[in-house]
Amino acid sequence: MDDRVSWLSVAAHPAEYEQVADNLFSLFVTARNLAPDRNATGCTRHPNGPVDTQAPEGWGRCLFCNSNRRLGQPGAKAGPEIARSMWAIPEPPYSHRALTGTMKKLKEAVVELELRSPNRDFEHVADLAHCAFYIARELSRPPSTSGCPRHPGAPIDSDAPGGPQCLFCLGRQRQALRGEPKVNIRPSRPVPAPVRPPRTWPVPPADGA
């Protein structure tokens, strides 16, 4: 794989990266299977529970915990915030250079790996393999039509002030101007005080009556 990537020129056609991306994905799957499991919810209490796809910013992704949180249950814990992907995603730019750099790190990590290596070493290799795959996949996409390095295939807003712009970046800018959406967390309703009937004990008749 390493030789193949080195052979590709900087200006290689995206189609040439397709096979590389496929092979790197197989490599990643092997590395992931050797590493300890990572769960999708990121929740220690419900590791195999459903994922909350509508989780507000800063919340965990466990649907059970988030449902409790939305209901304002006092026992609910905020799940840990986890990244977009279970495995590492490299920062852009996604270039041939970034790919060779990641492949070099991956090769070094694999060389040091042995059967008795600690779990985190296997995780490190799986993360690097995922990064390499991610870059290769980005490089295998058709050339950018939007002119945006972050969103190559994004639609363009041709009426944007200051000339045509990437619609995704524009939306993000507008959202940044508006600020973060507010999340109202409903407090739990206080338990109503028990209603007791007024005490009406019969007064015993006075002595000598």
Which spans of this chain sit near Zn ion (rule: CB under 5 A)?
43, 45-46, 62, 64-65, 148, 150-151, 166, 168-169
Specify the residue, 105 or 151, whose C-beta has the smaller distance to Zn ion: 151
Least distance to Zn ion from the beta carbon of 142, Å?
16
d(CA 70, CA 27): 40
In whole angstroms, give the CA distance from residue 84 to residue 10.
29
We find the least distance from the C-beta atom of residue 103 to Zn ion, in angstroms, to be 27
Rounded least distance, CB 95 to Zn ion, Å: 17
Q: Which lies closer to Zn ion via its Cβ, residue 75 or residue 192?
A: 75
Alpha-carbon distance 185 to 90, whole Å? 34
Cα distance between residue 23 and residue 29, in whole Å? 10
Nearer to Zn ion, 79 or 90 (CB): 79
Give the DSSP letter of residue 74. Answer: T
* Token pair 């499991």: residue: 37
Nearest distance from residue 148's CB to Zn ion, in Å? Answer: 3
**Nearest CB to Zn ion, comparing residues 75 and 208:** 75
Residue 166, phi then psi, degrees to nearest 5: -60, 125
Amino acid at 66: N
